[in-house]
Amino acid sequence: MSTYYISPQVVGIVRWKPFYRTNVSLQKSIFSKRGEVRLNVTDMFNTMDYRYSFFSNLQSGIINRKAESRFFQLTFNYKFGNSNIKVKEKKSGIDKEKNRINNSN
């Protein structure tokens, strides 16, 4: 779960109202941990709207803009292949140098 908040602020002649959104993600392992189901919800409370006002010598106004910000995403991942295969240990250049030094003594 995460929350994103922008406090009220003034930028030049524009005065921004505060706004926030809350995102939630749930996941569950299935099929003996070979599969995973995940649900993501962006802006769970549908509160992400941009409200600002502007003032100048010529005109002033209040603007409210609400774009679609709530999204649901359902994903499924599955690990194919044999999980019993052992991975060969990777050796670095330092390991080779240690072996060379130990073998020369």
Segment-wise mean pLDDT, segments of 10 residues, the chain, 105 residues = 88 83 94 93 84 71 77 93 74 75 74
Confirm whether 45 is domain-assigned.
yes
Confirm whether 92 is domain-assigned.
no
Confirm whether 58 is domain-assigned.
yes
| Count of the separate structural domains present in the chain | 1
Q: What residues make up the domain containing 31?
A: 2-82
Q: What is the pLDDT of residue 75?
A: 96
Confirm whether 91 is domain-assigned.
no
Q: What is the pLDDT of residue 45?
A: 87
Q: What is the pLDDT of residue 41?
A: 94
Confirm whether 105 is domain-assigned.
no
Confirm whether 93 is domain-assigned.
no
| DSSP code string of 60-96 | EEEEEE-----EEEEEEEE--S-TTPPPPPP--HHHH
Rounded to whole angstroms, the Cα distance separating 64 from 70 reads 17
